[in-house]
Structure 1
């Protein structure tokens, strides 16, 4: 299957969606050859995933779901999730990452929406997790989006915006056709570049990032940064970093043959003793016990 890649780069795309505005932070395409370790998104952040080919497993909210061609799923605020590919048939994925902004961010002409449109947007923000099989021909939309972004013909920004609106709309329409987890989620906002910086630091630099370093990158004081992390995740910087470290440790224990000492060093602990104490305190068992039970 020859799948077209998508990357919006630095293009600013905001979608009027019922009573909200969706700030599209990135659209990406790629293949999973290794697992994406367990992580979660901040308040107001949603990630749409579409699997056009390949096989794998999604672990979300403590449950395992098979990923097959045509699978769609949305992961919203504080939904811990992990993607595990089938190495004999690695899955491809289109991913749309967006931030929900309040409706007063819309231009005046865009603020008029029907009750059905408002229901659609409320269904999106009140559903932190949903998974099902596509029955709205989403692949055709991703192909159209890829064509517009690669060719960059006159009006491509307008076209890309319209196609992304259709992608989100067709996604949320399908919530009502399958069972879904409907929970109220607070919708908060943060400057998009700062939000991505925070997300990426906890996902990729959990082993070494400090509060001071993150504050410097955000252009904020350490106190402001601490408040920002608390606002976005509901926990302190220290607790969020520990959560990321322990998630990475759990993945390494179950997917590699690395020694426990090597894992401790890999995720940023100075000594094995410090790691062992933290791991047992967090997971309720030793690293050795965790590895033997999960493998």
Structure 2
């Protein structure tokens, strides 16, 4: 297995957090578990099965499957012809919308692209960007390209331009200030709109509230800090905007499904095993 972690500074709408590739052994299995980001897998060769929310789907060469944050899932290689796949781990304000427009909907979302679409080379080139000075931008550009190739025309009416501008401004504020004890009133004041109206715009654009976006962002940042094994729980809590470590621990378990200490131990074990 080979993979790259990134530091997607300033990429609010879509940010690649990691990429990798693995030729799996016949007994390879991941889960049941939850992840704190979206993970898009592409199958270069071989076969396997993806399972989530009570549905199991066989997946083979040229197909893709999407792991959705906070959903218990598992996937495993075919014992006779184990798969070789590559993946993007990503997050951002537009992650859910882009995934839906690319056709990843329902439990255990799997896509079989049109044969005329050549996606394989985009996934095979991921690790060649390891030393690129702007690898975060290049990898995010590749992911946008993949979503563009998979996109299904959206029959919903476009939102007014100012709606998008207000939401992007609010998202940028949250991304910059998530480590501070901010709330809805601070977000609304920054945008210059009524708090209830800001909530309505977030629901229209992102299908979530500003509070949910802020909490999800804080939990993703906390997960990365916990995986690094460098800071204590109280230090991580303060680093993501929680002055009370107990409140942080409750919110983390409610969002991720594990306590911070249990998540850290699980990450430690995974770092010495397979993806």
TM bracket, shorter-chain basis:
0.5 to 0.7
- Cα distance, 1:14 vs. partner? 6.0
Matched, 1:237 2:255: no
Provide closer, same or farther for how the CA distance between residues 31 and 78 of structure 1 changes in structure 2, counting only shifts above 3 A.
same
TM-score normalised by L of structure 2: 0.55
Aligned counterpart, 1:181:
none
TM-score normalised by L of structure 1: 0.52
Structure 1 stretches of 5 or more lacking a match? 104-117, 177-183, 202-212, 246-295
Aligned partner (choices 32, 40, 63) of residue 38 of structure 1: 32
CA contact (8 A) 2:87 2:123 kept: no
Aligned counterpart, 2:182:
none
Mapped to 2, the partners of 1:175 and 1:76 lie a distance apart of 22
CA contact (8 A) 1:101 1:189 kept: no
- Cα distance, 1:169 vs. partner? 3.3
Q: Name the SS for the 1:64 alignment partner.
A: strand
Aligned partner (choices 144, 152, 158) of residue 165 of structure 1: 144
CA contact (8 A) 1:7 1:27 kept: yes
- Cα distance, 1:74 vs. partner? 1.1
CA contact (8 A) 1:55 1:85 kept: yes
Mapped to 2, the partners of 1:150 and 1:41 lie a distance apart of 23
What's the RMSD between the two structures over aligned residues? 4.2
Aligned pairs, how many? Answer: 197
Structure 2 stretches of 5 or more lacking a match? 155-206, 239-243, 267-275
Which has the higher Rg, Structure 1 or Structure 2?
A: 1
- String of CA shifts for 1:121-150, please: whole Å, max 9, x gaps: 774799475212133321121234444x15
- Cα distance, 1:28 vs. partner? 1.1
Aligned counterpart, 1:189:
217
Aligned counterpart, 1:100:
92
- String of CA shifts for 1:6-33, please: whole Å, max 9, x gaps: 6333453665xxxx61222111111222
